[in-house]
């Protein structure tokens, strides 16, 4: 019941809103029908006027033609002065064609011959005087007797001159526009005929009644058409106008009742279907808007998180690169020290072979060697610690690469869920995962190199400890230096060989460290590219979120 009241009130509101539109349409339709009615009435009465003129002209033409035929018969009798024949012609006249009277004037002998059917019309014909001899055109006039109207035709009967007869001019009844003086004709008499206009008036009366009936019928049809137009066109158009106004204002919850199947109602059906489609479209648009807003926010959060992770990765890469540079410097210093140690060993070996120095010199040399070896041992141990740090850094890189792969995998999943909007982000995530795999492979190589360096460092430490032990033995057995000179020479040869190996190992370590430093720099450069891509993806996500907000603002009035 409440729903019906709300719907009834909505229909009444639509009716009130459509009243100005209906008034305008009704006014225009009324003006159009009024102009059409006036035009049709003018056409009807103009047709009546033309018919009236045509009827009278036909009667006049027929009367003139009858008068000329009768005048042709009377002319010969007037020329021969055969008045009996004239009377016979008049009396034998059967008064057909609605002829009411006939009157002949003999202008020579001033005699009158007449015959009539209606005495009233004949008595009124006396007002028509005989025509003058110089009048060439017939006299045509209409008069009334009581309620009946008559047509009077007066005609001059003349005999033209012999000149006109020789030219072959028809002169039985002379009706040309030439004056009598130029025609050189002689007037023989006058002929008067009277015709009844009863049939013509009755025809015109019926035609007038028909015209009046057509005018009234046209007025009635115009009124009926105006009422039908108001009911079948204006009122539905008013409802359509109100509905379109609601749709333009964003009120898509309105309904349009369909009551018939005329063309206007079919238009209402189409508009109602359009309204239903717009309602479904706005509902779908609302869901799409909410999904885009939620997805854009998730993508924006993920990209911002990735930007932070990549920034941290780049900082770690630069730190690792700095550590590798320091490691390279230390390797160079160690190589230089080993070179110096080899030179000193060779010098000691040369001195031992060319002994001639005192034992004190030998002790000093041995002490120097022991100190140098101890220093080298410390340096090698320091190198081992650096290598351990490198191994720790490599583990960190491995952990970061694994996290990067995991993040890239999650980003690919999110991009796949975003559909076409996440296509570009999916390409970025794939590139990140590929770079992470490359970093893992490089780190594995780095691990192998670090393990090799650690093994060489351990061997170097053992060798250094052995050298120190030998030097200590040489110091304790300095008294027996002379006996074991050969052993010292052998030990020095061993030290020289070990120094050579250490030098070679340090050179290899320097090369590996330089290669690792370049790899770390390349990883840092790739991470910067990934960071730029992540920032670009973040900007795209932010733009998508802005577009979602704009879409919400643009469709707000249709979604409420």
- When mean pLDDT is compared across 32-36, 41-45, 160-164, 274-278, the lowest value belongs to 160-164
**How many structural domains are present in the chain?**
2
Statement to judge: residues 327 and 204 lie in one domain = no
Taking only the tens place, the pLDDT of each residue in 227-239 is 766 666 666 666 6
pLDDT at 492 over 60: yes
Q: Is residue 200 part of a domain?
A: yes
Q: Read off the pLDDT band of 526 (50, 70, 90).
A: confident
In a domain, 560, yes or no: no
Domain match, 361 and 474 both: yes
Same-domain pairing of 300 and 217: no
Residues 196, 305, single domain; the answer is no
- Asked if residue 385 and residue 465 are part of one domain, the reply reads yes
| Residue 309 domain-assigned (yes or no) | yes
Q: Mean pLDDT lowest for which of 145-149, 157-161, 490-494?
A: 157-161
Over 80: is that where the pLDDT of 379 sits? no
Task: Give this prediction's pTM.
Answer: 0.36
Lowest-confidence pick of 269-278, 394-403, 423-432, 448-457: 269-278
Mean of the pLDDT values across residues 394-421?
Answer: 70
- For residue 108, tell me if it sits in a domain: yes
Among residues 165, 187, 222, the one where a domain terminates is 222
pLDDT, position 252: 53
Could you tell me the residue range of the domain that residue 165 belongs to? 18-222
pLDDT digits (tens, 9 = 90+) for 107-144: 777 777 777 776 666 666 655 555 554 455 567 877 77
Is the residue at 197 inside a domain? Answer: yes
CA neighbor of 107 nearest in space, from 31, 207, 180: 180
> Which residues does 508 contact at the CB level (< 8 Å), separation at least 6?
456
pLDDT for the residue 125: 60
DSSP characters over 469-509: HHHHHHHHTGGGTTTTHHHHHHHHHHHHHHHHHHHHHHHHH
Q: What CATH number does residue 302 fall under?
A: 1.10.287
pLDDT in tens, 206-225: 888 888 888 888 878 777 77
- Give the CA radius of gyration of the chain: 68
Categorize the per-residue pLDDT at 397 as very low, low, confident or very high, splitting at 50, 70 and 90: confident
Q: Give the pLDDT score at 260.
A: 53
CA–CA gap between residue 370 and residue 374 (Å, rounded): 6
Asked whether residue 386 falls in the same domain as residue 517, the answer is yes
What does the mean pLDDT of the chain come to? 68
Q: Are residues 185 and 305 in the same domain?
A: no
Output the CA–CA distances (angstroms, integers) from residue 109 to 73, 105, 106, 112, 188, in the order listed. Answer: 18, 9, 6, 9, 10
Quote the CA–CA distance of 99 and 110 in Å, as a whole number.
24
Q: Are residues 424 and 526 in the same domain?
A: yes
pLDDT at 551: 67
User: Is the domain of 302 the same as that of 207?
Assistant: no
Instruction: Give the domain-ending residue among 189, 222, 255.
Output: 222
- Is 254 inside any structural domain? no
User: How far apart, in whole angstroms, are the C-alpha atoms of residue 401 and residue 435?
Assistant: 9
**Domain stops at, among 178, 201, 222:** 222
Q: Tens of pLDDT along 64-115?
A: 888 888 888 888 788 877 878 888 877 776 666 577 778 887 777 777 777 7
Residue 263 forms part of a structural domain: no
Residue 35 lies in a domain: yes
Measured between alpha carbons, how far is 112 from 87 in angstroms, rounded to an integer?
10
């Amino acid at each position: 019941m409440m729903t019906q009241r709300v719907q009834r009130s909505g229909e009444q509101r639509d009716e009130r809103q459509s009243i100005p539109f209906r008034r305008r349409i009704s006014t225009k339709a009324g003006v159009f029908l009024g102009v059409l009615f006036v035009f049709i009435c003018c056409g009807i009465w103009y047709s009546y006027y033309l018919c009236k003129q045509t009827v009278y002209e036909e009667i006049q033409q027929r009367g003139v033609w009858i008068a000329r035929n009768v005048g042709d018969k009377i002319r010969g009798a007037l020329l021969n002065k055969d008045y009996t024949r004239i009377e016979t012609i008049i009396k034998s006249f059967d008064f057909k064609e609605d002829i009411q009277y006939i009157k002949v004037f003999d202008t020579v002998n001033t005699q009158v011959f007449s015959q009539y059917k209606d005495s009233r019309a004949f008595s009124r014909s006396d007002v028509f005087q005989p025509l003058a001899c110089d009048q060439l055109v017939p006299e045509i006039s209409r008069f009334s007797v009581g309620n009946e109207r008559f047509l009077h035709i007066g005609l001059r009967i003349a005999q033209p001159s012999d000149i006109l007869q020789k030219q072959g001019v028809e002169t039985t009844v002379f009706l040309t526009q030439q004056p009598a003086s130029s025609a050189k004709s002689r007037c023989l008499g006058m002929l008067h005929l009277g015709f009844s206009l009863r049939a013509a008036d009755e025809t015109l009366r019926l035609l007038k009644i028909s015209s009046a009936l057509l005018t009234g019928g046209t007025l009635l049809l115009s009124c009926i058409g105006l009422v039908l137009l108001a009911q079948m066109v204006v009122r539905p158009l008013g409802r359509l106008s109100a509905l379109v106004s609601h749709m333009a204002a964003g009120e898509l919850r309105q309904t349009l009742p369909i009551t018939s199947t005329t063309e206007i109602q079919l238009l209402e059906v189409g508009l109602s279907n359009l309204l239903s489609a717009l309602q479904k479209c706005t509902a779908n648009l609302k869901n799409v808007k909410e999904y885009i807003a939620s997805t854009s926010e998730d993508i924006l959060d993920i990209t911002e998180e990735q930007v932070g992770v990549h920034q941290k990765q780049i900082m770690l890469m630069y730190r690792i690169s700095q550590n590798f540079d320091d490691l390279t410097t230390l390797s160079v210093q160690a190589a230089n020290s080993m070179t110096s140690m080899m030179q000193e060993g060779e010098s000691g070996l040369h001195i031992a072979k060319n002994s001639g120095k005192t034992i004190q010199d030998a002790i000093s040399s041995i002490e120097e060697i022991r100190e140098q070896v101890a220093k080298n041992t410390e340096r090698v141990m320091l190198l081992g610690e650096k290598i351990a740090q490198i191994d720790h850094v490599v583990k960190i890189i491995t952990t970061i690469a694994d996290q990067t792969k995991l993040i890239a995998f999650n980003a690919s999943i999110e991009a796949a869920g975003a559909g076409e909007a996440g296509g570009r982000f999916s390409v970025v995530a794939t590139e990140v995962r590929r770079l992470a795999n490359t970093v893992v492979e490089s780190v594995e190589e780095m691990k192998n190199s670090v393990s090799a360096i650690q093994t060489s460092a351990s061997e170097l430490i053992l060798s250094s400890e052995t050298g120190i032990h030998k030097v200590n033995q040489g110091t304790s057995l300095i008294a027996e230096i002379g006996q074991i000179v050969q052993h010292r020479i052998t030990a020095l040869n061993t030290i020289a060989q070990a120094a050579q190996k250490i030098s070679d190992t340090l050179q290899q370590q320097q090369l590996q460290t330089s290669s690792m430093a370049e790899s770390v720099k390349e990883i840092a450069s790739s991470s910067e590219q990934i960071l730029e891509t992540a920032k670009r993806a973040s900007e795209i996500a932010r733009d998508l979120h802005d577009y979602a907000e704009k879409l919400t603002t643009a469709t707000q009035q249709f979604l409420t």
